Amino acid sequence: MGEVVKRAYKYRFYPSPEQAEQLSRTFGCVRLVYNRALEARTRAWAVDRQRITYVQTSAWLTEWKRTEGLAFLNEVSSVPLQQALRHLQAGFAAFWDKRARYPRFKSKRKSRVSAEYTRSAFRWRDGQLTLAKMDTPLSIVWSRPLPEAAQPSTVTVSRDSAGRWFVSILVETTIERLPATEFAVGVDAGVTSLVTLSTGEKIANPRHERIDRGKLAKAQRALARKQNGSANRTKARLKVARIHARIVDRRRDHLHKLSTRLVRKNQTVVIEDLSVRNMVRNHSLARAIYDAAWAELRSMLEYKAAWYGRTVIAVDRWLPSSKTCSACGRINTTLTLSVRAWTCPGCDAVHDRDVNAARNILAAGLAER
């Protein structure tokens, strides 16, 4: 039995010079509207303790468009500007509910540039996508087909720091549940091995960042020597961004393949509820932990499990999974981090540290069901 879900399909596209100019102008207007609204809402709270609503910020946008200094806002589609205000409202709602930090201003250089178009601001006809204020459809590389008879509800256009253009198309589709299986697996995250499974299998850590570390360091040194504001500095910055993008792409591809395999094969996947933010305070391991991207792997496991009718269980991070004998349950309090294999003093069982931890994680997760 299938489940109807909203799913985004991301594609690369190549805009014409006119489209690139229009989208760049839209990105700038989105950032300006978001920042002006954030500044005004912050001032209203600091001075009058007044909580501003989305409706009020939308009225502000109408007034801004009528002023001489901001008349250029009328040159782009109004929908991405309204969507920016909705995202700001969602950010404040998350802050008030203590689910997120206070909304921050968008930076011209550091923030991801994007614009979101709802159904009224684009045309989808015969498999071609045309955005508002444009005469020609986008030249999209269809790396995989959209679901049959899919009708996009939202389109998000973005440009990454490497200068690549992407379009994310949100559609409603039916995902078929996978047949139920009796298999369950415990997953122990690590650095040397990306994950160790309770089955005894170890998935090697590709260390994508380490592979390109030499190229990245060389490109960053070249960037540091370039004069601020020069064309050569722009070229050098783009080269650094492309190396970073290649690292991210390889890492994400590997995590997708791993998470899909685990979800397809197992009915239940048990993981640790790790606090990556606290773990990276160990500066000697921070780079390796970021490169492993455990949080991204967990996110993939959770949403894919929801799609395919599987279960992901996160056990307490303080569980002594490495020090507990998976055979008899005795805790070896003398075990240090440097010991990778040990013998249980209670039952003489010989353990690989990571495999033993994965088995304990699995047992703890199954006990919680």
Give the Cα separation of 304 and 255 in Å (integer): 12
The catalytic residue among 116, 209, 272, 291 is 272
Max alpha carbon distance in the chain (Å)? 82
The catalytic residue among 188, 209, 291, 302 is 188
Residue 272 annotated as catalytic? yes
Contact 312, 297 (CB under 8 A): no
Residue 160 annotated as catalytic? no
Contact 311, 267 (CB under 8 A): yes
The catalytic residue among 116, 291, 302, 354 is 354
User: Count of residues for the chain?
Assistant: 369
What the block records as the tokens of 343 is 């013998």
Give the Cα separation of 159 and 166 in Å (integer): 6
Q: Is the dihedral of CA 193, 336, 198, 365 positive or negative?
A: negative
Residue 368 annotated as catalytic? no
What the block records as the tokens of 199 is 């089955």
Contact 271, 312 (CB under 8 A): yes
Angle between helices 54-66 and 78-96 (to 10 degrees): 150
Q: Which residues contact 270 (CB under 8 A, 6 or more apart)?
A: 184, 185, 186, 187, 312, 313, 314, 315, 361, 362, 364, 365, 366
Contact 78, 115 (CB under 8 A): no
Catalytic residue numbers read 188, 272, 354
